[in-house]
Amino acid sequence: MTASTLDTTATTVEPAAELTDGYHLAVDALKLNDIRTIYGVVGIPITDLARLAQASDIRYIGFRHESDAGHAAAAAGFLTKKPGVCLTVSAPGFLNGLVALANATRNCFPMIQISGSSERHLIDLKQGDYEELDQLAAAEPFAKAAYRVSRVEDIGRGIARAIRTAVSGRPGGVYLDIPAAVLGEVVDAAAGAATLWRVVDPTPHQRPATEAVDHAIELLATARRPLVVLGKGAAYAQADAKIREFIESTGIPYLPMSMAKGLLPDDHPQSAATARSLALRRADVVMLVGARLNWLLNHGRAPQWNPAAKFIQVDIDPAEMDSNQPIAAPLVGDIESVFDALAERTEPVAAPTAWRDELAERSAHNVAKMAQRLAADPHPMRFSGALKAVRDVVHERPDVYLVNEGANALDIARNVIDMRVPRHRLDSGTWGVMGIGMGYAIAAAVESGAPVVAVEGDSAFGFSGMELETVCRYRLPIVTVVLNNGGVYRGDGVNPLATDPSPTTLMSEARHDKMIEAFGGKGFRATTPAEVAAALTEALASGGPALIDCVIDPSAGTESGHIAHLNPKGVTVGNLTPPTK
């Protein structure tokens, strides 16, 4: 063979295609949609998802319990109007997060719980896979919606659907199931990137019907005793200026629900908060703004309400109308659009002066009574004394976020601590869930960068107290105030039949301040209001994690706080006698 007959054709080597996987696609989809923080607890199969998110400049806040991480994600959704994201492992971890997901849905907070899961073919045949559970079926009853991603090319679609569902219409919790096999699936990077997209206008404005707006204006104009009730939906809407303009231009008295406090300052002359009972009992036309006639408002029923009252309701969800009482003027739409429509249709008519004077007189009377109660300084310290000290310090720091949970700790703080800035109060909300405290506090600190004061009953604190380690690990500016009366409701319960503590008794000698010291935070113990004030002032000035253990009279407090009527009564302890031998 001669050289001229040799095949000299060169072999072309194609460059290897760039690859990606489900982990990268999930993180890229979240980033594309402006998710900048994930709250969660890592483990199989989502540890690498958290690592990759962190490496991709998404902040990951790692918790000690999934329920607390979920509550943080829900609070983040309330504060930002963007879905907070909670990341959990499969089965037990998923179930731990489910309470927070359900609570977010009941409170109308946008949240997405993303959980890894076992392989479907093993789950469906119940073959006993690691942490086997049909998580989608378990989540559906408790969430606004639940989705499962079964193919890697659907990760972007699943995240887009979850985001839009969480924030559109009435916000709520969404569950997104991504099996381990899908997260680990490898695909061409360019093809994978093409499956991701950014959600466009997930919360479009929705204007109410013109006829309903005109009827609402007519009802308010002819009312003798009109009242506006502001719910946490009004705070979530972030239409603060328009709400305030409407209330001040009409002169209508308003009643803020607890998480709506601060939309207008609590000391505003039109606030009926300190004359709540009278306002509900006498109002003849009531405008509900982001508030529902649920148990928190006695379902709108007599005798707490005027039985002849006519209701106007502002809500994004038409199904909410008539859920408890007839709604004379249903203003279905987003709150900002509703107030735009009200402003456009007519010039508001001022509320009757006699009605405002009646409420002002009752408010002055109740404020004087409360001042007298707060001026008392009994020993041992009671809830009102400790909370007055907190109030006085926080009054000088309007930047502080207040998180509040408990029974007496919640009910008394709501009446004592005034708010002047919107969305700076977070509490147990619609479901009355205990255990939200540390999760909400962490989210408030992370999302705002501002200091947080978490006022906790000692019983409520026990649900999430281990998150003190999380607070210290991330060096968050959170001061936890534990109102320690040594019990559930109160600490003086007696078991007449045995040496075991009563059902409501906790450890009166508990030193919660030592807990935070174990994690490197600053602990204080306070036995007087003056000591509470001094400790809180110092703790806020430090800018770091701190806890104040406030020693409260064990006999202070009432069963179930202000809602003891919801607790059926059986035989009293006094009727129980030890068995005869």
Tell me the pLDDT tens digit for each residue of 190-222. 999 999 999 999 999 999 999 999 999 999 999
Q: Is the pLDDT of residue 1 over 70?
A: no
Distance separating alpha carbons of residues 292 and 207, to the nearest angstrom:
19
- Per-residue pLDDT tens over the stretch 130-157: 888 999 999 999 999 999 999 999 999 9
The residue among 249, 212, 499 whose CA lies nearest residue 331 is: 212
Q: Is the pLDDT of residue 572 over 90?
A: no
Give the pLDDT confidence score for residue 580 in this predicted structure: 45
Q: Is the pLDDT of residue 472 over 80?
A: yes
Span 386-391, average pLDDT: 97
Strands (DSSP E) found in 92-225: 111-117, 145-148, 173-179, 186-188
Tokens linked to 458: 């000692």
The residue among 235, 234, 168 whose CA lies nearest residue 204 is: 168
Contact indicator for 79, 111 with CB cutoff of 8 Å: no
What is the set of domains in the chain, with CATH numbers? 19-193 (3.40.50.970), 210-361 (3.40.50.1220), 376-493+501-562 (3.40.50.970)
Span 288-303, average pLDDT: 94
Q: Is the pLDDT of residue 249 over 90?
A: yes
Distance separating alpha carbons of residues 152 and 21, to the nearest angstrom:
8
Give the pLDDT confidence score for residue 564 in this predicted structure: 67
Cα separations (Å) of 545 from 37, 121, 214, 410, 515? Answer: 20, 47, 52, 22, 12
Span 317-346, average pLDDT: 95
Give the pLDDT confidence score for residue 558 in this predicted structure: 87
Q: Is the pLDDT of residue 12 over 90?
A: no
More confident position, 573 or 473: 473
Q: Is the pLDDT of residue 15 over 80?
A: no
| Mean pLDDT of the chain, nearest integer | 93
pTM (2 d.p.): 0.94
Q: Is the pLDDT of residue 3 over 50?
A: no
Radius of gyration of the chain (CA): 27
Amino acid at 519: F
Q: Is the pLDDT of residue 415 over 90?
A: yes
Provide φ and ψ at 201, rounded to 5°: 45, 65
Give the pLDDT confidence score for residue 122 in this predicted structure: 84
The residue among 189, 200, 143 whose CA lies nearest residue 166 is: 143
More confident position, 77 or 580: 77
Distance separating alpha carbons of residues 487 and 489, to the nearest angstrom:
6
More confident position, 346 or 416: 416
The residue among 51, 146, 38, 53 whose CA lies nearest residue 87 is: 38
Contact indicator for 342, 216 with CB cutoff of 8 Å: yes
| Highest mean pLDDT pick, 101-105, 375-379, 553-557 | 101-105
Contact indicator for 84, 440 with CB cutoff of 8 Å: no
User: Read out DSSP for 346-396?
Assistant: -PPPPPPHHHHHHHHHHHHHHHHHHHHHHH---SS--HHHHHHHHHHHHHT
Span 11-18, average pLDDT: 70
The model's confidence at residue 570, banded by pLDDT at 50, 70 and 90, is low
The model's confidence at residue 546, banded by pLDDT at 50, 70 and 90, is very high
Contact indicator for 520, 423 with CB cutoff of 8 Å: no
The residue among 395, 388, 369 whose CA lies nearest residue 529 is: 388
Give the pLDDT confidence score for residue 351 in this predicted structure: 78
Amino acid at 62: G
Give the pLDDT confidence score for residue 127 in this predicted structure: 81
CB contact set of 55 (below 8 Å; sequence gap of 6+) = none
The rounded percent of the chain whose pLDDT value lies above 70 is 93
CB contact set of 268 (below 8 Å; sequence gap of 6+) = none
Q: Is the pLDDT of residue 574 over 80?
A: no
Give the pLDDT confidence score for residue 7 in this predicted structure: 54
Q: Is the pLDDT of residue 8 over 60?
A: no
